[in-house]
Amino acid sequence: MYAIAIYNNKGGVGKSTLTVFMADFLASLVIRDRPLRVVVLDLDPQGSCGTALLGQDTLEEARRSGLTLGDLARRLDAGQPVAIENYLHRRPATPVKGRATAIGEVAVLVSDKASGFAFEVNPLHRLTTLREKLRPFLATRCDIVLMDLPGNIDERNLLAVNGLIMSDSVITPVEVSRFSLEALPNTLEMIRYARERGGGERPFCLGMLLNRADKRGQQYQRNIGQVHALAERLGIPVFENVLPNAQTLTAATDDGSLAGSLRERYGHYHAHVKAVVIEAFRRWNAVEG
Ligand SMILES: Nc1ncnc2c1ncn2[C@@H]1O[C@H](COP(=O)(O)OP(=O)(O)OP(=O)(O)O)[C@@H](O)[C@H]1O
Ligand SMILES: [Mg+2]
């Protein structure tokens, strides 16, 4: 199992969008005759990822039932017996002709403000609970864990920091704008903090992924030099593949009840997501040696 956190401390840069794209794409893959098993941890109480993958109704039902990540973390932390399986809310596969473009099954662990807050107000809660108690469970049931983190977090966000500490590596979506770049040192600081508190060298930085990048656009041309200079100074790689800006994509991440194949849902954008995921595979193979 490999766990990737999608994290930039800046808000609105495409963390949730990238998480959903990657989840959809990875879940559509069949490796050695078996679909890749993908679990998404929606660590953001806003629930963008949960909405996109499960649909609003299922997300609300999951929250009403109290089967949320905050509740799970609290129980695991207290050493209470808990059936983790019940916390995995499933987005079923959409059967279509031709396996390669099918929408695969994804399991989602959802957050809500109340349970996240209940976990976070207690400073005694441990930062390594998810890594110690959730990760071994997931390791036997899935191949890839993707985590959508909220923006604007700090050391007090115990649930989000738990997520970072549980992850093997981080992908940081950024927009090619000055505002987006300003949050980078802070983002890397949080990743370092997670590494330090986790007591090891994980999570690794897989790199910055340029989102809404229009290579021919003025903003891109004006700022791309600065992006690479900053990345070099901070010692963080930049993905060669980018995710272009595509207004039509909002529908793809709007509501999990959307049907259709991967290609119907993403159109030609499918190729960009594929290229990014393949590059991510290559990068994590490189850092894992
Ligand atoms: N490549 C893209 N092309 C067009 N629109 C995009 C793209 N990426 C993201 N968006 C849009 O930008 C908005 C912000 O994206 P998203 O919610 O994924 O960011 P975020 O980093 O998760 O934000 P937050 O910090 O609030 O969680 C959304 O409306 C999303 O649909
Ligand atoms: Mg988000």
Collect residues with CB below 5 Å from ion ligand 2. 15-16, 48
Say which residues have a Cβ less than 8 Å from residue 146's Cβ, sequence separation at least 6.
3, 4, 6, 19, 22, 23, 26, 38, 39, 40, 41
Residue nearest to atom 29 of ligand 1 (CA): 250
Residue entry with tokens 């995995």: 88
Say which residues have a Cβ less than 8 Å from residue 198's Cβ, sequence separation at least 6.
127, 128, 131, 164, 165
What pLDDT does 255 receive? 65
Which ligand 1 atom sits nearest the alpha carbon of residue 213? 1
Calculate how far, in angstroms, residue 220's C-alpha sits from the geometric centre of ligand 1: 17
Lookup: tokens for 91 = 């987005």
CA atoms within 13 A on the CB side of 119: 28
What pLDDT does 22 receive? 95
Could you tell me which residues are beta bridge partners of residue 34? 31
SS3 27: helix
Residue nearest to atom 31 of ligand 1 (CA): 250
Calculate how far, in angstroms, residue 8's C-alpha sits from the geometric centre of ligand 2: 10
Measured CA to CA, the distance from residue 7 to residue 182 in angstroms comes to 15
CB burial of residue 61 (10 Å; 0-12, 13-18, 19+): middle
SS3 192: helix
Q: Does residue 187 have its Cβ closer than 6 Å to ligand 1?
A: no
Q: Does residue 13 have its Cβ closer than 6 Å to ligand 1?
A: yes
What pLDDT does 252 receive? 64
Q: Does residue 172 have its Cβ closer than 6 Å to ligand 1?
A: no
Q: Does residue 15 have its Cβ closer than 6 Å to ligand 1?
A: yes
10-residue stretch averages of pLDDT, the chain, 289 residues long: 97 95 91 93 95 93 96 94 97 72 89 88 85 97 97 94 97 92 93 96 96 93 94 96 84 64 81 94 89
What pLDDT does 166 receive? 98
Q: Does residue 11 have its Cβ closer than 6 Å to ligand 1?
A: yes
- Nearest ligand to the C-alpha of residue 12? 1
Measured CA to CA, the distance from residue 67 to residue 75 in angstroms comes to 11
Enclosing H/E stretch for 173: strand 169-175
* Domains observed in the chain: 2-288 (3.40.50.300)
Peptide bond between residue 203 and the one before it cis (omega within 30 degrees of 0): yes
Measured CA to CA, the distance from residue 4 to residue 167 in angstroms comes to 5
Q: Does residue 200 have its Cβ closer than 6 Å to ligand 1?
A: no
Q: Does residue 75 have its Cβ closer than 6 Å to ligand 1?
A: no
**CB 120 within 8 Å of CB 68:** no
What pLDDT does 259 receive? 61
**CB 210 within 8 Å of CB 180:** no
Of 17, 211, 258, best ligand 1 pocket probe by most atoms within 8 Å of the beta carbon: 17
Calculate how far, in angstroms, residue 257's C-alpha sits from the geometric centre of ligand 1: 19
Q: Does residue 211 have its Cβ closer than 6 Å to ligand 1?
A: yes
Calculate how far, in angstroms, residue 11's C-alpha sits from the geometric centre of ligand 1: 9
Q: What's the full length of the chain, in residues? A: 289
Q: Say if strands 30-31 and 89-91 run parallel, antiparallel, or are unpaired.
A: unpaired
Calculate how far, in angstroms, residue 121's C-alpha sits from the geometric centre of ligand 2: 22
Give one word for 81, left, alpha or beta, with left for phi > 0 and alpha for psi -120 to 50: beta
